[in-house]
Chain A
Amino acid sequence: MLHEQESSTGAQESYRIAVFGGCYNNYLALQATIDDARRRSAQAIYCLGDMGGFGPHPDRIFPILWENEVMCMQGNYDHSIGNRLADCACGYTDPRDNYYAQISYDYTLANTSDRYKDWLRALPAGIQLELAHRRILMVHGSPRRVNEFLWESTTPEPFLAKLFNDYDADMILCTHTGIHWQRRLPDGRCIVNVGAIGRPPNDGQTTVWYALLTIDPGHSRVESELLPVAYDYERLAYEMRQEQLPEEFVETILTGWWTTCLEILPAKERARGRF
């Protein structure tokens, strides 16, 4: 069930929305991303889900989302935590990936308050907007599955065209993989994987990424831009250690290289990382 919203855009100036995903308990990056989006005049902010996992202190995420009126939808993690399920249902297939995924899931489940769990359970599975006469579909994984990974190197154009046709969309915004990318088809339809703000995208940098969409004053175009955000990653690493989260997770925050959940990566994305 998709959540439909109407947008009201002024005709005289550009309208901007910020879209991010994959908070992974990283409340410091969340605040930094919202601050960055406000500085860039974003008038609305959307979160594509996966509030928990990986980082420390799950409950610190929710007040920031609420105070800043971030419009949220449900990721697979949120569905699992909200329904008190046994695992994150991230869609990993290798035991090594699932081993570390389970550690962060158990921690998040144990440290998320019931009222936040209930809120996660009630989130919509998707959001539809119409901006500049374009049908924009926001999903977590893909339009057809919440935990489908849309990687840049394994999402070919014919498959994308099918998704756009099947789900009646001109633009798809997604997350789930943790690595941002975007592509425009020759017919103008466009996909933006907004990446994740919870951990860096396996590029050896400590920054995290989100997307800013700009609708021109004449409402004829939607431009998307992927933006890096710096935050206090050393403080996050300190707090992760205080919470006794795996040192492998801390290393990723400090170095920008993924150390866990690597087996799900396609060959090209894996080749770009250190491990």
Chain B
Amino acid sequence: MSTSRPEVRHTLKMAQPVIVSPDPPELQLDALDTLWFQITGTLCNIACLHCFITCGPKNHQHEMMTVQQVRAALGEARKHGVREYYFTGGEPFLHPDIQELITMTLEQGPLSILTNGILIDDDMAAWLGETFRRSAYSLDLRVSLDGRTAEENDRVRGKGTFKHIIAGIERLARNGINPVITVTEVRSSMGLPAERAAFMECVRGLGLEKPRLKFLTPFLIGREARRTRGYREDELLHDGDLQPGEAQKLQCSSCRMVTDDGVYPCPLLINIPGAKMGETFQDGLRPIKLAWQPCYTCHVYGVTCRT
């Protein structure tokens, strides 16, 4: 463990100061397998209390990507042999051209979309179902749900969201889409086997006969830092911390995130000053430093944002 002090950077944009490891491990990009698109920037129809990038209806820190931006990145991705694509935000279904974006991406490879499901109406669910059946490549919807009851879920995702999320999931199910229900462990008990089993039954009750669940560890940045706590100064990675074979398991050894304003190592770091790798696709191909506090969570809990 290093004895040198972490650097603390105060920024106007961030509610919490950013603490940077003075001697972070370096991580090579093994291959660019996964490309993330911050498709709607930080714009979302809701404002969850655990959102690690503080998305909401009025957060324009990152703007929506244009169709041209996505098309250009797909062209670059094709040259690099990218294997899979992810749309996130914000809420991807806020994008006015979402169907065009989905169609052009699926022509090139498999796509996962991270959504709260609220904006998926009957027409959109039918279109997604048809697109899923027609596409050669897999289309996955990941719908966030943070409790088995309205009381549990709405406490973090906002009043009244539970019933709208459930309605979105049921529409997807009726149209042949089996979404991955993504649960952030906002209470420690949610990681226990009994709780996971109960969630499984809850999802089965929504008409999903083959329940698919993904549990995610919260990241202590953005609004989550206010809901619970921020990272401590010692919660940082130092050179030598990575275990043998760990580098390959970290998603940032094989992914990059494209936003409206440039390239980042991963979806967690788009609001962290200094984490941006550059403006162009090429800028994102160099190694990264695991200097940031969320890197600590990925290391300790083995988190991957992949479906």
Contacts and interface: CB of A to CB of B under 8 A. Distances in A.
Is this pair of chains taken from one and the same complex? yes
A68 interface: no
Interface residues of A, number: 23
Contact of B81 (A158, A263, A268, A271): A158
A267 B210 contact: no
A96 B10 CA distance: 43
A50 B127 CA distance: 40
Main secondary structure on chain A at its contact with chain B?
helix
Closest 9 CB pairs of A and B: A162-B81, A156-B109, A153-B138, A266-B138, A159-B83, A154-B110, A158-B78, A268-B138, A267-B140
A93 to B, nearest CB: 7
A186 to B, nearest CB: 13
B109 A270 contact: no
A266 B140 contact: yes
B34 to A, nearest CB: 11
Given A153-B137, A153-B138, A162-B80, 4 more contacts: A162-B31, A266-B138, A267-B139, A268-B132
B212 A263 contact: yes
Nearest to A263: B212
Question: Which of A162, A263, A270 has the most C-beta atoms of chain B within 10 angstroms of its own C-beta?
Answer: A162
25 contacts: A93-B304, A151-B138, A153-B110, A154-B83, A154-B109, A154-B137, A156-B109, A156-B137, A158-B78, A158-B108, A159-B81, A159-B83, A161-B81, A162-B81, A266-B138, A267-B139, A267-B140, A267-B178, A268-B132, A268-B135, A268-B137, A270-B178, A270-B212, A271-B176, A273-B210
A151 B33 CA distance: 14
Q: For chain B, which range describes its interface: under 10, 10 to 19, 20 to 34, or 35 or more residues?
A: 20 to 34
Contacts of A266: 110, 138, 140
A153 B33 CA distance: 15
Question: Which of B79, B81, B139, B176 has the most C-beta atoms of chain A within 10 angstroms of its own C-beta?
Answer: B81
B91 interface: no
Contacts of B110: 153-154, 156, 266
A222 interface: no
Nearest to A183: B136
B87 to A, nearest CB: 15
B64 interface: no
B77 interface: yes
Contacts of B83: 154-156, 159
A262 interface: yes
B255 interface: no
B224 interface: no
Contacts of B210: 262, 270, 273, 275
Interface in A89-135: 93
A230 interface: no
Nearest to B200: A96
Given A156-B109, A158-B108, A267-B132, A163 B81 contact: yes
B285 to A, nearest CB: 14
Contact of B138 (A93, A154, A159, A262): A154
B109 A159 contact: yes
A271 B178 contact: yes
B104 to A, nearest CB: 13
A130 B138 CA distance: 33
A93 B216 CA distance: 13
A161 B78 CA distance: 10
Question: Which of B79, B83, B140 has the most C-beta atoms of chain A within 10 angstroms of its own C-beta?
Answer: B83
Contacts of B108: 156, 158
Contacts of B82: 156, 158-159
A254 B8 CA distance: 62
Nearest to B180: A267
B146 interface: no
A87 to B, nearest CB: 13
A156 B110 CA distance: 7
Contact of A267 (B79, B81, B138): B138
Contacts of A160: 81
Contacts of A263: 212
A155 B304 CA distance: 20
A198 to B, nearest CB: 23
Contacts of A158: 77-82, 108-109
B273 to A, nearest CB: 32
B250 to A, nearest CB: 13
Interface in B74-120: 77-84, 108-110
Contacts of B80: 158, 162
Interface string A146-171: 00000101111011111100000000
Nearest to A266: B138
Nearest to B176: A271
A93 B215 CA distance: 12
A271 B141 CA distance: 13
Nearest to B78: A158
Contacts of B177: 267
A150 to B, nearest CB: 10
Contacts of A163: 81
A159 to B, nearest CB: 4
Contacts of A270: 178, 210, 212
Contacts of B78: 158
Contacts of A275: 210
